[in-house]
Amino acid sequence: MRKDVIERVREAGRILQQRMEQPPSLLELSGLAGISDSKLKFGFRELYGTTVFSFYFTCIT
């Protein structure tokens, strides 16, 4: 994965952690992070070894 994609995926993770009470939709999250939804989903799998939803669920539990 390219460095810019990695940073945007990390930014999406930070956004999810900051907005746990009212999480953005996948499309909104990808827009906020400046990355396509398909790259975001792929990037989460590569970087965190999980889906965006599972990452969020892990953060709230």
Q: Can you give the pLDDT at residue 16? A: 92
Spans of all domains in the chain: 3-60
Instruction: Please list the pLDDT of the chain residue by residue as tens digits (61 residues).
Output: 899 999 999 999 999 999 989 999 999 999 999 999 999 999 999 999 999 999 888 887 7
Q: Can you give the pLDDT at residue 59? A: 81
Q: Can you give the pLDDT at residue 58? A: 85
Q: Can you give the pLDDT at residue 15? A: 96
Q: Closest by alpha carbon to 15, among 32, 3, 34?
A: 32
